[in-house]
Amino acid sequence: MSRSRAPRGGSDEPPLIAHVIYHLIMGGLENGLINLVNRIPRDRYRHAIVCMAYYSDFRERITRPDVEVVAMNVHERGLRNVTPDLFRLFRRLRPAIVHSRNLSGLDSLLPAAIAGVRCRIHGEHGWESADLRGTNRKHQWNRRLHSPLVSRYIALSKHQERYLTDRVGIAPRRITQIYNGVDVERFRPGDSAAPASPTPRDGRPDGCIIGTVGRMQGVKDPMNLVEAFLHLRRTRPELLPRMRLAMVGDGALRDAVTDRLRQEGASSAAWLPGARDDVADQLRGFDLFVLPSKAEGISNTILEAMATGLPVVATRVGGNPELVLEGTTGALVPDSDPAALAAAIGRYVENPELVRAHGAAGRARAIREFSLDRMIERYLTVYDEHATPADPRE
Protein backbone atom coordinates (compact mmCIF):
# COMPACT_ATOMS: atom_id res chain seq x y z
CA MET A 1 0.00 0.00 0.00
CA SER A 2 1.33 3.41 -0.96
CA ARG A 3 -0.08 6.77 -0.07
CA SER A 4 0.12 10.47 -0.66
CA ARG A 5 -0.46 11.83 2.81
CA ALA A 6 -2.45 14.92 3.72
CA PRO A 7 -2.01 17.00 6.86
CA ARG A 8 -3.97 15.76 9.88
CA GLY A 9 -6.44 18.19 11.35
CA GLY A 10 -8.38 18.74 14.51
CA SER A 11 -11.50 17.05 15.82
CA ASP A 12 -13.74 19.97 14.80
CA GLU A 13 -13.12 19.40 11.10
CA PRO A 14 -15.94 18.69 8.64
CA PRO A 15 -16.92 15.04 7.99
CA LEU A 16 -14.62 12.98 5.78
CA ILE A 17 -15.71 11.20 2.61
CA ALA A 18 -13.49 8.31 1.50
CA HIS A 19 -13.94 7.85 -2.25
CA VAL A 20 -13.02 4.37 -3.50
CA ILE A 21 -12.15 3.92 -7.19
CA TYR A 22 -10.08 1.44 -9.17
CA HIS A 23 -7.32 3.86 -10.19
CA LEU A 24 -6.72 7.59 -10.34
CA ILE A 25 -5.53 8.21 -13.87
CA MET A 26 -6.78 10.32 -16.76
CA GLY A 27 -10.36 9.26 -17.45
CA GLY A 28 -13.97 10.35 -17.27
CA LEU A 29 -14.83 8.82 -13.89
CA GLU A 30 -11.61 10.12 -12.39
CA ASN A 31 -12.08 13.60 -13.84
CA GLY A 32 -15.59 13.73 -12.42
CA LEU A 33 -14.30 12.73 -8.98
CA ILE A 34 -11.63 15.42 -9.00
CA ASN A 35 -14.21 18.03 -10.03
CA LEU A 36 -16.34 16.90 -7.09
CA VAL A 37 -13.46 17.01 -4.61
CA ASN A 38 -12.24 20.40 -5.80
CA ARG A 39 -15.68 22.02 -5.90
CA ILE A 40 -17.36 20.89 -2.68
CA PRO A 41 -16.93 23.73 -0.13
CA ARG A 42 -14.13 22.96 2.28
CA ASP A 43 -16.26 23.79 5.30
CA ARG A 44 -18.79 21.08 4.29
CA TYR A 45 -16.68 17.94 3.71
CA ARG A 46 -13.11 16.67 3.63
CA HIS A 47 -11.98 13.96 1.22
CA ALA A 48 -9.65 11.00 0.85
CA ILE A 49 -9.26 8.93 -2.33
CA VAL A 50 -8.65 5.20 -2.03
CA CYS A 51 -7.41 3.56 -5.23
CA MET A 52 -7.91 -0.18 -5.30
CA ALA A 53 -5.01 -0.35 -7.75
CA TYR A 54 -2.77 2.71 -8.23
CA TYR A 55 -2.65 6.43 -9.01
CA SER A 56 -0.68 8.54 -11.45
CA ASP A 57 0.33 12.19 -11.60
CA PHE A 58 -3.30 12.86 -12.53
CA ARG A 59 -3.78 13.34 -8.77
CA GLU A 60 -1.92 16.65 -9.13
CA ARG A 61 -5.14 18.07 -10.54
CA ILE A 62 -6.54 17.99 -7.01
CA THR A 63 -6.36 21.61 -5.84
CA ARG A 64 -7.05 20.94 -2.16
CA PRO A 65 -3.93 20.29 -0.04
CA ASP A 66 -5.78 18.18 2.54
CA VAL A 67 -6.72 15.22 0.33
CA GLU A 68 -4.93 11.95 1.08
CA VAL A 69 -4.59 9.55 -1.86
CA VAL A 70 -3.91 5.89 -1.07
CA ALA A 71 -3.03 3.09 -3.52
CA MET A 72 -3.91 -0.44 -2.37
CA ASN A 73 -2.13 -2.14 -5.33
CA VAL A 74 -4.72 -4.93 -5.51
CA HIS A 75 -3.48 -5.91 -8.98
CA GLU A 76 -0.14 -6.92 -7.43
CA ARG A 77 -1.13 -8.05 -3.93
CA GLY A 78 -4.51 -9.71 -4.46
CA LEU A 79 -7.81 -8.93 -2.75
CA ARG A 80 -7.15 -11.33 0.15
CA ASN A 81 -4.14 -9.24 1.22
CA VAL A 82 -5.76 -5.89 0.52
CA THR A 83 -8.98 -6.45 2.49
CA PRO A 84 -7.37 -6.29 5.99
CA ASP A 85 -5.51 -3.14 4.95
CA LEU A 86 -8.78 -1.55 3.84
CA PHE A 87 -10.25 -2.30 7.26
CA ARG A 88 -7.25 -0.74 9.00
CA LEU A 89 -7.33 2.25 6.64
CA PHE A 90 -10.98 2.99 7.37
CA ARG A 91 -10.36 2.64 11.10
CA ARG A 92 -7.59 5.22 10.80
CA LEU A 93 -9.43 7.64 8.50
CA ARG A 94 -12.75 7.29 10.36
CA PRO A 95 -14.82 8.57 7.41
CA ALA A 96 -18.45 9.56 7.82
CA ILE A 97 -19.06 8.24 4.30
CA VAL A 98 -17.42 5.67 2.07
CA HIS A 99 -18.38 6.35 -1.54
CA SER A 100 -17.34 3.45 -3.77
CA ARG A 101 -17.64 3.39 -7.55
CA ASN A 102 -18.16 0.59 -10.05
CA LEU A 103 -17.50 -3.12 -9.68
CA SER A 104 -14.05 -2.93 -8.08
CA GLY A 105 -15.30 -0.50 -5.44
CA LEU A 106 -17.71 -3.10 -4.07
CA ASP A 107 -14.79 -4.88 -2.42
CA SER A 108 -14.36 -1.94 -0.04
CA LEU A 109 -17.88 -2.10 1.39
CA LEU A 110 -17.50 -5.02 3.81
CA PRO A 111 -14.22 -3.70 5.32
CA ALA A 112 -15.90 -0.30 5.66
CA ALA A 113 -18.93 -1.80 7.42
CA ILE A 114 -16.77 -3.83 9.83
CA ALA A 115 -14.69 -0.72 10.52
CA GLY A 116 -17.84 1.08 11.65
CA VAL A 117 -18.58 3.30 8.66
CA ARG A 118 -22.35 3.64 8.81
CA CYS A 119 -22.92 5.38 5.50
CA ARG A 120 -21.80 3.48 2.40
CA ILE A 121 -22.73 5.00 -0.96
CA HIS A 122 -22.09 3.14 -4.19
CA GLY A 123 -21.97 4.76 -7.62
CA GLU A 124 -22.42 3.10 -11.01
CA HIS A 125 -20.57 5.02 -13.73
CA GLY A 126 -20.33 2.41 -16.49
CA TRP A 127 -19.62 -1.23 -17.08
CA GLU A 128 -16.37 -3.09 -17.40
CA SER A 129 -14.55 -3.46 -20.74
CA ALA A 130 -15.36 -7.19 -20.74
CA ASP A 131 -19.08 -6.48 -20.14
CA LEU A 132 -19.92 -3.56 -22.44
CA ARG A 133 -23.69 -4.21 -22.36
CA GLY A 134 -23.96 -5.02 -18.66
CA THR A 135 -25.17 -8.56 -19.40
CA ASN A 136 -22.60 -10.49 -17.37
CA ARG A 137 -24.60 -12.53 -14.83
CA LYS A 138 -21.65 -12.93 -12.48
CA HIS A 139 -21.23 -9.16 -12.27
CA GLN A 140 -24.96 -8.73 -11.69
CA TRP A 141 -24.93 -11.27 -8.85
CA ASN A 142 -21.83 -9.66 -7.35
CA ARG A 143 -23.64 -6.34 -7.23
CA ARG A 144 -26.75 -8.01 -5.78
CA LEU A 145 -24.66 -9.79 -3.13
CA HIS A 146 -23.24 -6.48 -1.94
CA SER A 147 -26.54 -4.61 -1.96
CA PRO A 148 -27.27 -5.05 1.79
CA LEU A 149 -24.05 -3.12 2.47
CA VAL A 150 -25.12 -0.08 0.42
CA SER A 151 -26.94 2.82 2.08
CA ARG A 152 -27.63 4.65 -1.19
CA TYR A 153 -26.92 4.05 -4.87
CA ILE A 154 -25.98 6.80 -7.28
CA ALA A 155 -26.51 6.08 -10.98
CA LEU A 156 -24.74 8.35 -13.42
CA SER A 157 -27.44 7.91 -16.06
CA LYS A 158 -31.02 6.76 -16.35
CA HIS A 159 -29.65 3.89 -18.45
CA GLN A 160 -27.59 2.70 -15.46
CA GLU A 161 -30.47 3.33 -13.10
CA ARG A 162 -32.57 0.90 -15.18
CA TYR A 163 -29.70 -1.60 -15.04
CA LEU A 164 -29.71 -1.48 -11.23
CA THR A 165 -33.46 -1.91 -10.97
CA ASP A 166 -34.09 -4.38 -13.80
CA ARG A 167 -30.99 -6.58 -13.75
CA VAL A 168 -29.57 -6.23 -10.24
CA GLY A 169 -32.91 -5.96 -8.44
CA ILE A 170 -32.32 -2.74 -6.50
CA ALA A 171 -35.48 -0.96 -5.32
CA PRO A 172 -35.90 2.39 -7.12
CA ARG A 173 -36.27 4.22 -3.80
CA ARG A 174 -32.64 3.35 -2.99
CA ILE A 175 -31.25 5.02 -6.14
CA THR A 176 -30.47 8.65 -6.88
CA GLN A 177 -29.61 9.54 -10.46
CA ILE A 178 -27.00 12.31 -10.85
CA TYR A 179 -25.46 13.40 -14.14
CA ASN A 180 -21.86 14.50 -14.46
CA GLY A 181 -21.31 18.23 -14.60
CA VAL A 182 -19.15 20.32 -16.91
CA ASP A 183 -17.28 23.56 -16.25
CA VAL A 184 -19.16 25.82 -18.65
CA GLU A 185 -16.71 28.67 -18.09
CA ARG A 186 -13.62 26.65 -18.94
CA PHE A 187 -15.35 24.88 -21.82
CA ARG A 188 -16.84 27.66 -23.88
CA PRO A 189 -16.97 28.77 -27.51
CA GLY A 190 -14.32 31.09 -28.86
CA ASP A 191 -11.14 31.28 -30.86
CA SER A 192 -8.73 28.47 -30.06
CA ALA A 193 -5.37 29.36 -28.58
CA ALA A 194 -4.07 26.10 -30.05
CA PRO A 195 -5.50 25.26 -33.49
CA ALA A 196 -6.84 21.77 -33.90
CA SER A 197 -4.46 20.98 -36.75
CA PRO A 198 -1.23 22.48 -38.10
CA THR A 199 -3.17 23.91 -41.07
CA PRO A 200 -6.80 24.18 -39.93
CA ARG A 201 -9.25 24.26 -42.84
CA ASP A 202 -6.36 25.18 -45.18
CA GLY A 203 -7.55 28.75 -44.92
CA ARG A 204 -11.07 27.90 -46.15
CA PRO A 205 -13.83 29.69 -44.18
CA ASP A 206 -16.19 26.83 -45.03
CA GLY A 207 -13.79 24.12 -43.86
CA CYS A 208 -14.82 21.63 -41.22
CA ILE A 209 -12.61 20.03 -38.58
CA ILE A 210 -14.15 16.77 -37.42
CA GLY A 211 -12.72 16.13 -33.97
CA THR A 212 -12.75 13.65 -31.14
CA VAL A 213 -11.06 13.36 -27.75
CA GLY A 214 -10.57 10.06 -25.95
CA ARG A 215 -8.41 7.07 -25.20
CA MET A 216 -7.57 5.03 -28.28
CA GLN A 217 -8.73 1.68 -27.00
CA GLY A 218 -11.28 -0.91 -28.03
CA VAL A 219 -14.33 0.36 -26.16
CA LYS A 220 -13.84 3.87 -27.56
CA ASP A 221 -13.63 2.41 -31.09
CA PRO A 222 -11.48 5.09 -32.77
CA MET A 223 -11.28 2.95 -35.90
CA ASN A 224 -15.03 3.44 -36.36
CA LEU A 225 -14.40 7.17 -36.83
CA VAL A 226 -11.40 6.56 -39.08
CA GLU A 227 -13.40 4.25 -41.34
CA ALA A 228 -16.28 6.76 -41.41
CA PHE A 229 -13.88 9.54 -42.40
CA LEU A 230 -12.36 7.40 -45.15
CA HIS A 231 -15.81 6.33 -46.34
CA LEU A 232 -16.87 9.96 -46.58
CA ARG A 233 -13.75 10.81 -48.58
CA ARG A 234 -14.50 8.01 -51.04
CA THR A 235 -18.23 8.59 -51.44
CA ARG A 236 -18.41 12.38 -51.16
CA PRO A 237 -15.32 13.60 -53.04
CA GLU A 238 -16.79 17.10 -53.34
CA LEU A 239 -16.40 17.46 -49.55
CA LEU A 240 -12.83 16.21 -49.50
CA PRO A 241 -11.09 19.64 -49.72
CA ARG A 242 -13.09 20.92 -46.76
CA MET A 243 -12.68 18.03 -44.30
CA ARG A 244 -9.97 17.55 -41.71
CA LEU A 245 -9.85 14.94 -38.94
CA ALA A 246 -8.43 15.63 -35.46
CA MET A 247 -8.12 12.76 -32.98
CA VAL A 248 -6.78 13.86 -29.58
CA GLY A 249 -5.75 11.01 -27.31
CA ASP A 250 -3.39 8.09 -26.93
CA GLY A 251 -3.69 4.37 -26.42
CA ALA A 252 -3.06 0.91 -27.75
CA LEU A 253 -4.88 1.52 -31.05
CA ARG A 254 -3.11 4.71 -32.02
CA ASP A 255 -0.58 2.97 -34.26
CA ALA A 256 -3.36 1.03 -36.01
CA VAL A 257 -5.26 4.26 -36.60
CA THR A 258 -2.15 5.94 -38.00
CA ASP A 259 -1.39 2.98 -40.27
CA ARG A 260 -4.94 2.89 -41.62
CA LEU A 261 -4.90 6.56 -42.52
CA ARG A 262 -1.52 6.11 -44.18
CA GLN A 263 -2.74 3.13 -46.21
CA GLU A 264 -5.55 5.26 -47.65
CA GLY A 265 -3.35 8.28 -48.35
CA ALA A 266 -5.25 10.37 -45.80
CA SER A 267 -2.44 11.16 -43.35
CA SER A 268 -2.15 14.76 -44.52
CA ALA A 269 -5.85 15.29 -43.79
CA ALA A 270 -5.59 14.05 -40.20
CA TRP A 271 -3.92 15.25 -37.01
CA LEU A 272 -3.17 12.84 -34.14
CA PRO A 273 -1.24 14.74 -31.45
CA GLY A 274 -1.62 12.13 -28.70
CA ALA A 275 -2.82 13.01 -25.21
CA ARG A 276 -3.11 16.72 -24.47
CA ASP A 277 -3.58 18.81 -21.35
CA ASP A 278 -5.24 21.65 -23.28
CA VAL A 279 -8.45 19.87 -24.24
CA ALA A 280 -10.59 22.99 -23.81
CA ASP A 281 -8.43 24.82 -26.36
CA GLN A 282 -8.46 21.88 -28.73
CA LEU A 283 -12.26 21.66 -28.63
CA ARG A 284 -12.47 25.33 -29.56
CA GLY A 285 -10.57 24.44 -32.71
CA PHE A 286 -13.16 21.82 -33.79
CA ASP A 287 -16.31 22.41 -35.81
CA LEU A 288 -17.94 19.06 -35.06
CA PHE A 289 -17.40 16.59 -32.22
CA VAL A 290 -17.74 12.84 -32.80
CA LEU A 291 -17.86 10.07 -30.19
CA PRO A 292 -17.63 6.67 -31.94
CA SER A 293 -17.69 4.44 -28.81
CA LYS A 294 -19.07 0.92 -28.40
CA ALA A 295 -20.19 1.72 -24.84
CA GLU A 296 -20.45 4.78 -22.60
CA GLY A 297 -21.79 5.82 -19.24
CA ILE A 298 -22.23 9.57 -19.19
CA SER A 299 -19.51 10.97 -21.41
CA ASN A 300 -17.61 13.93 -20.03
CA THR A 301 -16.26 14.68 -23.48
CA ILE A 302 -19.77 15.00 -24.90
CA LEU A 303 -20.62 17.45 -22.13
CA GLU A 304 -17.40 19.38 -22.76
CA ALA A 305 -18.11 19.52 -26.48
CA MET A 306 -21.66 20.73 -25.88
CA ALA A 307 -20.43 23.43 -23.50
CA THR A 308 -17.93 24.52 -26.16
CA GLY A 309 -20.80 25.03 -28.59
CA LEU A 310 -20.15 22.04 -30.83
CA PRO A 311 -22.77 19.80 -32.42
CA VAL A 312 -22.21 16.18 -31.38
CA VAL A 313 -22.46 13.02 -33.45
CA ALA A 314 -22.37 10.00 -31.13
CA THR A 315 -23.22 6.33 -31.12
CA ARG A 316 -26.55 5.37 -29.60
CA VAL A 317 -25.09 3.57 -26.58
CA GLY A 318 -25.25 3.93 -22.81
CA GLY A 319 -26.14 7.42 -21.64
CA ASN A 320 -25.38 9.15 -24.96
CA PRO A 321 -29.09 9.50 -25.91
CA GLU A 322 -29.67 11.27 -22.59
CA LEU A 323 -27.14 13.95 -23.54
CA VAL A 324 -27.50 14.37 -27.30
CA LEU A 325 -30.93 15.55 -28.46
CA GLU A 326 -31.18 14.11 -31.94
CA GLY A 327 -32.01 16.79 -34.49
CA THR A 328 -31.53 19.56 -31.91
CA THR A 329 -27.99 19.36 -30.50
CA GLY A 330 -26.57 16.60 -32.69
CA ALA A 331 -27.14 13.17 -34.18
CA LEU A 332 -27.13 9.57 -32.90
CA VAL A 333 -26.07 6.56 -34.97
CA PRO A 334 -25.71 2.82 -34.35
CA ASP A 335 -22.36 1.74 -32.93
CA SER A 336 -19.84 -0.08 -35.13
CA ASP A 337 -21.47 1.29 -38.30
CA PRO A 338 -18.97 3.51 -40.16
CA ALA A 339 -21.36 4.14 -43.07
CA ALA A 340 -24.07 5.49 -40.77
CA LEU A 341 -21.49 7.57 -38.90
CA ALA A 342 -20.16 8.94 -42.19
CA ALA A 343 -23.64 9.94 -43.33
CA ALA A 344 -24.28 11.87 -40.10
CA ILE A 345 -20.91 13.62 -40.29
CA GLY A 346 -21.48 14.50 -43.93
CA ARG A 347 -24.72 16.33 -43.15
CA TYR A 348 -22.79 18.72 -40.92
CA VAL A 349 -19.81 19.13 -43.25
CA GLU A 350 -22.12 20.29 -46.04
CA ASN A 351 -24.27 22.52 -43.83
CA PRO A 352 -22.40 25.15 -41.74
CA GLU A 353 -25.72 26.65 -40.60
CA LEU A 354 -26.69 23.31 -39.05
CA VAL A 355 -23.31 23.24 -37.29
CA ARG A 356 -23.96 26.66 -35.75
CA ALA A 357 -27.58 25.97 -34.79
CA HIS A 358 -26.98 22.60 -33.13
CA GLY A 359 -23.81 23.88 -31.46
CA ALA A 360 -25.65 26.82 -29.89
CA ALA A 361 -28.47 24.54 -28.71
CA GLY A 362 -25.95 22.17 -27.14
CA ARG A 363 -24.23 25.02 -25.30
CA ALA A 364 -27.57 26.23 -23.92
CA ARG A 365 -28.47 22.71 -22.79
CA ALA A 366 -25.11 22.22 -21.06
CA ILE A 367 -25.56 25.46 -19.11
CA ARG A 368 -29.16 24.69 -18.20
CA GLU A 369 -28.90 21.02 -17.24
CA PHE A 370 -25.29 19.89 -16.86
CA SER A 371 -23.37 22.58 -15.00
CA LEU A 372 -20.88 21.65 -12.29
CA ASP A 373 -22.86 23.69 -9.77
CA ARG A 374 -25.94 21.58 -10.43
CA MET A 375 -23.92 18.36 -10.02
CA ILE A 376 -22.33 19.53 -6.76
CA GLU A 377 -25.70 20.57 -5.35
CA ARG A 378 -27.17 17.12 -6.02
CA TYR A 379 -24.21 15.25 -4.49
CA LEU A 380 -24.33 17.47 -1.41
CA THR A 381 -28.00 16.66 -0.98
CA VAL A 382 -27.19 12.94 -0.90
CA TYR A 383 -24.16 13.37 1.38
CA ASP A 384 -26.04 15.61 3.83
CA GLU A 385 -28.92 13.15 4.02
CA HIS A 386 -26.76 10.12 4.74
CA ALA A 387 -23.67 11.38 6.59
CA THR A 388 -23.36 10.11 10.16
CA PRO A 389 -20.42 10.19 12.56
CA ALA A 390 -18.00 7.28 12.47
CA ASP A 391 -18.44 4.49 14.97
CA PRO A 392 -16.65 5.58 18.19
CA ARG A 393 -15.37 2.08 18.90
CA GLU A 394 -11.61 1.74 18.95
Q: Can you spell out the DSSP letters for 123-134?
A: EE----TT-TTS
Average pLDDT over residues 212-240: 95
Rounded to whole angstroms, the Cα distance separating 290 from 303 reads 12
Which distant-in-sequence residues (6+ apart) come within 8 Å of 304 by Cβ? 182, 187, 213, 279, 280, 283
The amino acid present at 69, given as its one-letter code, is V
Helix (H, G, I), strand (E, B) or coil at 254: helix
Query: Would the pLDDT of 394 be above 50?
Result: no
Residue whose C-alpha is closest to residue 123's, from 170, 76, 183, 90 = 170
**pLDDT by residue (tens digit) across 58-106?**
999 999 999 999 999 998 899 999 999 999 999 999 999 999 999 999 9
CB 270 within 8 A of CB 243: no
Query: What's the confidence (pLDDT) of residue 388?
Result: 62
The upper half-sphere exposure of residue 101, i.e. CA atoms within 13 Å in the direction of its Cβ, equals 21
Query: What's the confidence (pLDDT) of residue 46?
Result: 97
For residue 279, what are the CA distances in angstroms to 114, 251, 285, 375? 42, 16, 10, 21
The pTM assigned to this predicted structure is: 0.85
Which distant-in-sequence residues (6+ apart) come within 8 Å of 137 by Cβ? none
**∠ Cα 48 369 32 (to 5°):** 20
Q: What kind and span of H or E run contains 241?
A: none
Helix (H, G, I), strand (E, B) or coil at 211: strand
Query: Would the pLDDT of 393 be above 50?
Result: no
Query: What's the confidence (pLDDT) of residue 5?
Result: 57
**Where are the domains positioned within the chain?**
2-181+372-386, 200-369
Query: What's the confidence (pLDDT) of residue 201?
Result: 52
The amino acid present at 327, given as its one-letter code, is G
The CATH class that applies to domain 2-181+372-386 reads: alpha beta
Instruction: Kindly indicate the confidence band of residue 239, based on its pLDDT and cuts at 50, 70 and 90.
Output: very high
CA dihedral 350, 356, 362, 363 (to 10 degrees): 150
The upper half-sphere exposure of residue 236, i.e. CA atoms within 13 Å in the direction of its Cβ, equals 20
CB 46 within 8 A of CB 14: yes
Instruction: Kindly indicate the confidence band of residue 28, based on its pLDDT and cuts at 50, 70 and 90.
Output: confident
In CATH terms, are 2-181+372-386 and 200-369 the same topology? yes
Query: What's the confidence (pLDDT) of residue 297?
Result: 85
Instruction: Kindly indicate the confidence band of residue 206, based on its pLDDT and cuts at 50, 70 and 90.
Output: low
Which distant-in-sequence residues (6+ apart) come within 8 Å of 298 by Cβ? 28, 125, 156, 157, 179, 180, 318, 319, 322, 323
**pLDDT by residue (tens digit) across 271-321?**
999 988 889 999 999 999 999 999 888 899 999 999 999 999 999 999 999
Q: What is the CA radius of gyration of the chain?
A: 22
Query: Would the pLDDT of 215 be above 50?
Result: yes
Q: Which residues pair with 243 in a beta bridge?
A: 208
More confident position, 256 or 298: 256
The amino acid present at 373, given as its one-letter code, is D
CB 51 within 8 A of CB 69: yes
Rounded to whole angstroms, the Cα distance separating 91 from 114 reads 9
Instruction: Kindly indicate the confidence band of residue 136, based on its pLDDT and cuts at 50, 70 and 90.
Output: confident
Query: What's the confidence (pLDDT) of residue 272?
Result: 94
Query: What's the confidence (pLDDT) of residue 277?
Result: 83
Q: Which CATH superfamily is domain 200-369 in?
A: Glycogen Phosphorylase B; (3.40.50.2000)
Residue whose C-alpha is closest to residue 336's, from 212, 183, 225 = 225
CB 19 within 8 A of CB 104: no
Question: Given phi > 0 = left and psi -120 to 50 = alpha, else beta, which region is 200?
Answer: beta
Q: What kind and span of H or E run contains 281?
A: helix 279-284
The strand pair at 330-333 and 270-274 is best described as unpaired
Rounded to whole angstroms, the Cα distance separating 99 from 107 reads 12
Query: What's the confidence (pLDDT) of residue 96?
Result: 96
Query: Would the pLDDT of 205 be above 70?
Result: no
